Each structure stands twice: as C-alpha cells, then as structure tokens.
Amino acid sequence: MSPLASLNRRQFLSAGLAATLAASLRATTAAAADGRPPRILLRSSWQTVNIGDIAHTPGVLRLLEDHLPEAEVTLWPGNVGNGVEAMLRRRFPKVRFALDKETVARAFDECDFLLHGSGPSLVGQKQVAEWKAKTGKPYGVYGITIGAMTDELRGLLTAARFAFFRDTVSLQFAKDNGVTCPVMEFGPDGAFAVDLRNDDAAEKFLKEHDLARGKFLCCIPRLRYTPYWKIHNRKQTEEDVRRFAHSTSLKEHDHAPLRQAIIEVVRNTDMKVLLCPEDQSQMDVAKEMLFDPLPEDVRKRVVHRSTYWLTDEALSTYVRSAGLFGLEMHSPIMCIGNGVPAVVCRFSEQTSKGFMWRDIGLEDWLFDMDKEDEVARIVPTVLGIAKDPALAAARVQAAREFVQQRQKATMGTLRQSLKIG
C-alpha cells in the first residue's frame, strides 16, 4: 500500500470513527436529557430446538435485571416459538418483545443501545448492520464465538462499543484478524446466568423415575453434527449427507467412554444416571448409543428420558443432580452457573467454545474426544465426581465466582456505554 493510500485510509477511518462517536454520544445522552430510563434492545433467541440456544436469552436478561435494573429492555428475538415466549414472559414480565416489523421499527426509534446476545457467531450480523446503518446508535456484542472473518464482520466488531468473546481462542482470532474494537475481552456466555425453573415438572419426573436429589448424574449424548434435517423434517442436502456419515463413523468412538463412565458410576457408587437431551435429536441417540448397549444390571439404574424439554425444567433437574457429563456445552454452562459440577467432552466440529472451560479454570474437566490420552481420563473424572460430590462442588464454586466477576465487569462496561451511573 502506498503512503498516500495509507493516509487516505487513515483519514477515512478517522472520519468514520468521529461520526460514529458523535452519533453514539447523542444516543447515550438522550435518556439522561429526557430524564427517562435507558432503553436496551437485545437481539437474541436464535432457535428453540436446543435448550442451550434458548438459554442465551434468559441468561443475558437476568444479567441486565441484576446489574442494570433501571434499564428498559426490549427483546428482538429470532425465534421464541414452542413455548419459549411464554416461559420468558413468566420470568421477565417487564421485558418488551419486538416480534414484527412495526414493533422492531418502534424499538429502533426508542432504544438507545443494541446488545447482541451470546451465540456461536455474530448470529444477528444482518440485524446489527441494519441497526448501525439506520440509527447510528451504539451497539455491543456479548459472549460470542468466532472462527471465520469477513470484511463486514471485521467492520461491525470494530465499530462496536465492546465485543466480549466467550472463549479466549475467539478473542485472539479477532485480534489476529484485524478487529480493533475499543473493548475486546473474555466475556462469559450469557447462559451462565440462567435461573429459569420449572420445579413442579422436574419433581414429577424425578419421582416417577425414582431419582432422588443428589443421588444421580445427568449424561448428554451428541453426534458430531446435529441432524437438523431430521429435527425440521426436511429433505437432506448433500452437505447433510456428508455430515451425517461423518457423525455416524465416529458415534461409537464418541459414546463408548460415556457408556463406560455410566457403568463405573452405577457399579461403584449408589448413584443413578439420567440420560437427557440438549436438543430434539438426542433422545434417539441416547437410546441407541448409551441405554440399549448397557449391561442389564446397569440399565436397571439408568433412566432414559424419551421426550424433549425446555430450559426451565432441564435446569430444575440439573440443580437436583450431583453433576453432569457428556458431549454438549450449554447444559454444563447452566450447571456451573448454578453450582453444579459439569464435565465437557468436545470436538473440533463444535468450534472453539469448549475452551471456555479452560478460561474459567475447569481445564481438568475438559476433554478433547480426538485425543486418546484425554479420552482415557473421562471415566475416572466422572467417577471421582460421583464418589465425592462435595469436593466437586467446591471446585465449581471457584469457577462460578470467576464467571460472576467477569459478568459484573462486562455489565459495568455496558453501563459506561449507556452513560449511566
């Protein structure tokens, strides 16, 4: 690049930054000038077929409720069907919902700040770009993973007031790929803060299956790639076929250690095991790969949940368990956020999100399924949690406190961006 081109580029970026800062200042001082509460538009709720994707939203809403109670919050969801909207309204009756073009347009006009919630990427990239272009008001990104970069994404992240990444691998990737947002830090996935409950449903299920509080572990299966074509009852694409073949080729490898952990827990402790889903495809996987192949003496003390559930019932179940292990991410996140031990078994197909376990001090409970030395440690680790749940719970508390410190700091950054307090 020539010196002149470099100068022109710097001048352009400086002019753009000045314009953005001016618009941001006008927007964030509007609430103070009007003497009204600050208004936040939360873009979140990506899908409802996975209790983890559901959990992003109530987690961030709870953080806003705890740390910015004076703010008026509007949720701009991608999908709140299948009973999710009602669940969120019960827990957060003050939150407004922007569900159609009219209410979204009103939110664009009235809200001071757009907050993009947690997710596997900048899921609402199109909507963030729309907010930026139409309003010139500030926005921030809360707890995402990224593993690919485009010019538009780089520009949107750079122009944000802050960008919090839910794993430090993503944070470093953003830095290495030219993102220069004023505040770029590790910020926990919003799902750590979920406090939804459906105690009646959980107690009913546990009683029906003779699962006593603190006397069972939860286990979650998973294929390498979620078969969304099956969940949504649509025709497979060529990529679906390729991914399903890949998942099938590794499903025995991935589930054999979980099966063995179940066997050891049942035969060596007084614990039972509950096989439960994080997404709508996993009930069948649990039966095929975990429940049916178990020895008869073990199977008698293992419960296979054959129906999907929502996040509130799942979390009410997790907090009554002695811990959780498996191949998913967000049920463990919800567990740690609520003081319950949780082991994460990950693989590269899940992106880098699993590394957050290392970031919060639980690296000994993180296992890479493609590294045989780590796979070999899964069974003794799960058995250790079952044998000494009190020690495991103490380990959780340190990680939970660190997460809460980061949550407080990240919400403090949002408060500063809103020019309040």
Question: pLDDT tens across 267-288, in order?
Answer: 999 999 999 999 999 999 999 9
- In the predicted model, what is the mean pLDDT of residues 139-143? 98
**Residues of the chain above pLDDT 70, percent:** 92
Domains of the chain from N-terminus onward: 3-193+404-417 (3.40.50.11720), 199-402 (3.40.50.2000)
Instruction: Specify the pLDDT at position 419.
Output: 84
Helix intervals (H) in 344-388: 356-359, 372-375, 378-387
In DSSP terms, 13 is beta-bridged to none
Question: Taking the CA atoms of the chain, what radius of gyration do you get in angstroms?
Answer: 22
Q: Name the residue among 354, 309, 67 with its Cα closest to residue 205.
A: 309
pLDDT confidence bin for 33, thresholds 50/70/90: low
Instruction: Specify the pLDDT at position 420.
Output: 63
pLDDT confidence bin for 294, thresholds 50/70/90: very high
Instruction: Specify the pLDDT at position 31.
Output: 60
For the segment 204-249, what is each residue's pLDDT rounded down to a tens digit? 999 999 999 999 999 999 999 999 999 999 999 999 999 999 999 9
- In the predicted model, what is the mean pLDDT of residues 375-403? 96
Q: At residue 17, does pLDDT exceed 90?
A: no
Distances (CA, A) of 51 to 110, 217, 311: 31, 18, 5
Classify residue 256 by burial, with Cβ atoms within 10 Å: 0-12, 13-18, 19+. middle
- In the predicted model, what is the mean pLDDT of residues 397-421? 93
- In the predicted model, what is the mean pLDDT of residues 313-332? 98
Instruction: Specify the pLDDT at position 224.
Output: 97
Instruction: Specify the pLDDT at position 332.
Output: 98
What's the gap between Cα 50 and its chain centre? 10
Report residue 13 as tokens: 């970026």
pLDDT confidence bin for 25, thresholds 50/70/90: very low
Q: In angstroms, how far apart are the furthest CA atoms of the chain?
A: 77
Rounded mean pLDDT of the chain? 92
Who wins on pLDDT, 30 or 24? Answer: 30
Task: Report how far residue 77's alpha carbon sits from residue 110's, in angstroms, rounded to the nearest whole number.
Answer: 17
Instruction: Specify the pLDDT at position 7.
Output: 32
For the segment 59-112, what is each residue's pLDDT rounded down to a tens digit? 999 999 999 999 999 999 999 999 999 999 999 999 999 999 999 999 999 999
Q: For residue 188, what are the contacts with CB-CB under 8 A and spacing of at least 6? A: 143, 166, 356, 360, 403, 406, 407, 410
For the segment 337-355, what is each residue's pLDDT rounded down to a tens digit? 999 999 999 999 999 999 9
Instruction: Specify the pLDDT at position 2.
Output: 33
Report residue 248 as tokens: 């099938």
211: three-class secondary structure by DSSP = coil
pLDDT confidence bin for 21, thresholds 50/70/90: very low
Task: Report how far residue 318's alpha carbon sits from residue 65's, in angstroms, rounded to the nearest whole number.
Answer: 23
Q: At residue 14, does pLDDT exceed 60?
A: no
Q: At residue 20, does pLDDT exceed 50?
A: no
Instruction: Specify the pLDDT at position 413.
Output: 97
For the segment 166-202, what is each residue's pLDDT rounded down to a tens digit? 999 999 999 999 999 999 999 999 999 999 999 999 9
- Whose tokens are 């406190």? That residue is 401
What's the gap between Cα 162 and its chain centre? 18
Q: At residue 50, does pLDDT exceed 60?
A: yes
